[in-house]
Every structure is written in structure tokens, then in C-alpha cells.
Amino acid sequence: MNLAASLPMPDAATDLNLDPYWMPFTHNRYFKRTRPLDRLMVAADGAYYTTVEGQRLFDCLSGLWCSSLGHRDPRIVEAVKAQLDRADYVPAFQVASPDTFRLAERIAEVTPENLNRVFFTNSGSEAVDTALKIAIGYHRLRGEASRTRLIGREKGYHGVGLGGITVGGMVANRKMFAPLMVQGADHLPHTHNLKEMAFSRGQPQWGAHLADDLERLVALHDASTIAAVIVEPMQGSVGVVVPPLGYLQRLREICTRHGILLIFDEVICGFGRMGDWFGAQAFGVTPDLITFAKCVNNGTVPMGGVIARQEIYDTFMQGPEYMVELFHGYTYSAHPLAVAAANATLDILHADEVPRRFGELAVKIEDAAHSLRGEPNVIDIRNCGAAAAIEMAPIPGQVGARGLKVFEEGLKRGMLLRFTGDTIAMAPPVITTQAELDRMFEAVRASIHAAA
């Protein structure tokens, strides 16, 4: 079929009523006033989106960090279609599909050490709230019910559930919802320091000592009150903030010393992007719980989950066998279509050696990203795994305006970039060619100049 011929015409898009849809994480008034046709997507294939006008946009962030293999890989498409021919939905309570057990086993095969028990959710936000509940329940079942405090990190992003925004550290996500947050949380300092770290390649040399602030929080609250610490190994949503060398290792040592669970939020880092299966392996640090979503099934159908250590799972397995051990779950946990897409994705991750290929792509991204040093208003460049970010000085009194301008200039040049404030983030799919990578960074360079 001719894809272009099957797409809606621009005239049809101009007749759209944009008012009823309350868009998430979007400047609704600006979007609906400007009615940008170059932001109305009607198709996706490989490393590209197609707009209603027929313009092809290179997918610079793999969807929202989720389509790491590119779009509509035929192996995933066929797996989902085949599943629909068998069953559209299977309940997750008291019954299950055999494919779900197999998927959990396959995920456990690629996790670090004894993280081998998988609980499925539908998103990263749900995965985080699930992990926090597991952590609280674990300590309670062990006779340490006083361990209720949760420790997050400034600038951290852990989804938009009430638990996630409690431990998260992005002010805009928190300030309106303070009355709903979980009580008794605290935060570690962030590791984003331009004075000491600007233009670091990979992990900064400076900053491991920032993890020692956890000892201060232990002294302040007492270890007997702290249940868990949650951090992203690499912070993607805030703009590729990279952990300093030794930082995660120190967090692990302090948590172990005080009996505190360490949770890695790997919703962005998991399943290849870091050059290994998980950030835990890439950075050489093993947490007690891992949250995942996004790339587990290439963003095809919503899916997330939590991977727990054997000991944590075993702690819940007590009382009469006929009783439910964890009163938690979702109607769409391990949805058959999501499971089919995930199993097909894992096939591809293995067969195509995706983690290794991302490692190779990471080297190219690092060199290309740092070539932008010295461009107008660029105050930092960061890279980690197959991801990079370009941070620009804000326009005085208009934080985020420069980032929006670069984003819009990128669209003119055939690039769908991601901006967070005045930071442009890039994490293209693993199928990206050298020519596409070159075009992406040259378009970013030109867009930065146009927005200067």
C-alpha cells in the first residue's frame, strides 16, 4: 500500500476540533492556538514519523524513550496480530496466560544477580508506586513496621503517581499536589552541577561524595525509619543527568549498611539503551528492586513492572497458602497484547544483539554531541549510553522559551526533538544509521543558531 496515499489530507486536519482533548505535559493553549500541522502524527515506520502534511520526521527520542527498536518492526506487529487471533484479554487475578509466565522468566534471565521475581504493571508510574508499596510491605512483614520513610532525589522523575511525585524531585510536578503526597519522604541532593561537571564525556569525575548525604538523612531520621531509596541510574526526563563515577556504588554501600532497600527506576535505562540489559549492569551496581516499562515491548502496548530480589518475594510468601500475599495489582497487568509484544521484543533484543549495538551507537552519539560545544548559548553537553542532551542558557525571564524555539526549528528540519525546559534531549532508535545521526546533529546545530 502507498503510505502517503492512505494518510489524512491536511485539509481534514484543519477541521479538527482540538478543544475536547486535554493534552498531557503540553502547553494546551499555545498548541491549540497555533494548530501546528507538523505536530499531528498519522503514521510511524522505522525511525520516522509522518505528519498529516506528509512530512517525515526523524524520531530523535525513540518516541518517548520507548520505541528503541524503531517503529512497527514486523516481528512485533505480527506477534500482536497473532495474539488477537487467540485472545484479546485474559484476567490477571487468579488466572494467567502461559505466555506471561514465560515472559517473566525471560526477563529474570537478563537481570543482575538474584533479581528474579517480576510483577507486571501498565506503566512506569504504576511500576514506581508498586515498588514503593513492596518496599514498605517488606519491612513490615519482617517486623520493622517503623520503616516507612522514602528517600528520593532532587530533580528525580518517577512518574506521576502519588508515590512517584512524592519521591520525585521535579518542582513543577509536585507543587500543585502537596496535600496528596505520601507523608514522611525526604530527598537527596541532585547531581547536576555545571560548575564542576559541564561538558563531561560520560560519567563526571566529580560528585561521588554527593551520595554521602544519605548518611546525613540516616542521622536525621534514624535508619530504623527509612524503608527505601529510589533513584534513576541515569536521569532521562530531566535532561540526561549522568551519575558521577562512584556515586551509585556509594548509595549501594550506605543502603546495605543501614538495611535500606535500594530501588533503581530503570523505566528509561532498561532493555538496552545503556549498552547493557539494565543500567544496574552498565554501572556495576545491583539494587534490591528495579522498575521498568517503555522498551520492554518497544512502546507497542502499555506495560511496566517491578523486578524484585528473591528474598523480598519470599518475605511476602507467608500465611495460609489460600490467602492473597500482596493485595495489589491492575486490571490490565500483563495484558495479552502487551505480553505478546514484549516476548517479540525480547526475541529481537537477543537476536539483533541490541544492547551491544546501543553500546556502539553510544560512542558515535558522544562524539557528535560534544561537537556542538561552542555553539551559541550552549552551556553544557551530557551523554550517557545511547543518549545525549544539549543544555542552553535560558532567555532572561523566559525559562523554556529557547528550548521550545529549538524544538520548533527542528521540526522545520525534519527532526522530532524532545525539549525539557531549555535542554534538548536525544536518544534515537538502535536502527539509526551514521547518515541519520549526522543529519540529526547538524539539524540541532542549525536549530540552535536559528534560535539564538
Listed by start position, the domains of the chain span: 3-65+353-450, 77-351
**Domain 3-65+353-450, classified CATH 3.90.1150.10, yes or no:** yes
Q: What percent of the chain has pLDDT over 70?
A: 97
b/e burial code for range 414-446 (CB count within 10 A of at least 16 → b):
ebbbbbbbbbbbbbbbbbbeeebbebbbebbbb
Pick the CATH number of 77-351 from 3.40.190.10, 3.10.450.50, 3.40.640.10, 3.40.50.970: 3.40.640.10
Q: How much is the average pLDDT of 168-191? A: 95
Q: How much is the average pLDDT of 36-52? A: 97
pLDDT of residue 391: 98
Comparing 3-12, 61-70, 209-218, 219-228, the range with the smallest average pLDDT is 3-12
Residue 113 has pLDDT above 90, yes or no: no
The Cα 405–Cα 408 span in angstroms is 5
The Cα 439–Cα 314 span in angstroms is 51
Question: What Rg, from alpha-carbon coordinates, does the chain have?
Answer: 22
pTM: 0.96
pLDDT of residue 5: 52
pLDDT band, very low/low/confident/very high, at 15 (cuts 50, 70, 90): confident
pLDDT of residue 1: 43
C-alpha cell at 273: 539503551
pLDDT of residue 13: 72
- Whole-number mean pLDDT of the chain? 96
Name the residue among 338, 367, 349 with its Cα closest to residue 276. 349
Q: What are the tens digits of pLDDT across the range 251-266?
A: 999 999 999 999 999 9
Residue 157 has pLDDT above 90, yes or no: yes
Inter-residue long-range contacts of 78-87, CB under 8 Å, 24+ positions, other chains counted = 78/344, 79/340, 79/341, 79/343, 79/344, 80/300, 80/301, 80/337, 80/340, 80/341, 80/344, 82/340, 83/336, 83/337, 83/339, 83/340, 84/337, 86/336, 87/336
CA angle 380–293–326, rounded 5-degree value:
130
Residue 9 has pLDDT above 80, yes or no: no
Residue 320 has pLDDT above 50, yes or no: yes
Residue 3 has pLDDT above 60, yes or no: no
- At 436 the three-state DSSP class reads helix
Name the residue among 113, 123, 125, 386 with its Cα closest to residue 230. 125
